[in-house]
A and B are shown apart, each in its own frame.
Chain A
Amino acid sequence: SQQGEEDPQALSIQEGENATMNCSYKTSINNLQWYRQNSGRGLVHLILIRSNEREKHSGRLRVTLDTSKKSSSLLITASRAADTASYFCATPAWDSGYALNFGKGTSLLVTP
């Protein structure tokens, strides 16, 4: 089952601009993760935010988590063409040994 839903489905920006994508989920979680996937390749882990955290930074990435609204956002600042990829949020599936439930992802295109 896919619990997380990313929004927007697709986003097109120019290099140097910021990109914001959102994720909503349905059930209580103890952490939320963001992954990046370049075309036709495996997923790369970007960042994990725990339920007792509201904001976390990693390089040009900023992730927020609002457990009351069951939502998270990923902000990529000063985007580069190399950031072109699909971005997925993932939440733990408690009933499946902490397997991850993924949304459909946001497809980000960064043009020079």
Chain B
Amino acid sequence: DTGVSQDPRHKITKRGQNVTFRCDPISEHNRLYWYRQTLGQGPEFLTYFQNEAQLEKSRLLSDRFSAERPKGSFSTLEIQRTEQGDSAMYLCASSKITDTQYFGPGTRLTVL
């Protein structure tokens, strides 16, 4: 049983650049969640998908953030025109409908 995987694990970018992160959930999980975690804080919910449908996106931090989950499998989170305040750990989790959420190792983003 492979867990949730995320790629890349680390990303360093310059302010103003676009970045995209990928998440591969556990195969039989139909829910996929994105969270952001800053230093000293707990994860903060961003958005979630049930299969390929994005059912909640109002918590995305700005219109620079977008997420997709084509075909209900892997998901991508894109941040356009990155800002230094976007530096954080971006976590992906998956679950069956209301079951335990299993988290990936995260992608650490540093914006210079």
Kindly specify which of A14-22, A56-64, A76-84, A96-104 makes contact with the partner chain: A96-104
Complex Cα spacing A98 to B101, Å: 10
B25 at the interface (CB under 8 A from A): no
Partner of B100 from A42, A48, A88, A104 at Cβ < 8 Å: A48
A29 at the interface (CB under 8 A from B): no
Q: Is the beta-carbon distance between A45 and B42 smaller than 8 angstroms?
A: no
Q: Is the beta-carbon distance between A43 and B103 smaller than 8 angstroms?
A: yes
Partner of A100 from B41, B50, B101, B106 at Cβ < 8 Å: B101
- Given A97-B50, A97-B56, do A42 and B45 touch, yes or no (CB 8 Å)? no
Partner of A45 from B45, B89, B91, B102 at Cβ < 8 Å: B102
B98 at the interface (CB under 8 A from A): yes
C-beta contact mask, A66-104 vs B, less than 8 Å → 1, else 0?
A: 000000000000000000000010101100111111111
Q: Is the beta-carbon distance between A2 and B56 smaller than 8 angstroms?
A: no
B43 at the interface (CB under 8 A from A): yes
Q: Is the beta-carbon distance between B42 and A97 smaller than 8 angstroms?
A: no
Q: Is the beta-carbon distance between B104 and A42 smaller than 8 angstroms?
A: yes
Q: List 26 A-B contacts (CB under 8 A).
A: A2-B41, A4-B42, A35-B103, A40-B89, A42-B104, A42-B106, A43-B91, A43-B93, A43-B103, A44-B103, A45-B101, A88-B43, A93-B45, A96-B45, A96-B56, A97-B31, A97-B48, A97-B50, A98-B98, A99-B33, A99-B45, A99-B56, A100-B33, A102-B42, A102-B43, A104-B40
**Extra 15 A-B pairs, beta carbons < 8 Å, given A45-B101, A104-B41, A104-B42:** A4-B42, A40-B108, A41-B106, A42-B4, A42-B91, A43-B91, A43-B103, A44-B103, A88-B42, A88-B43, A92-B98, A96-B45, A97-B31, A97-B48, A100-B101
Interface residues of A (CB under 8 A from B): 2, 4, 33, 35, 40-45, 48, 88, 90, 92-93, 96-105
Q: Ordered nearest first, which 8 A-B pairs have the shortest CB separation?
A: A102-B42, A99-B45, A43-B103, A42-B105, A42-B103, A96-B56, A102-B43, A97-B48
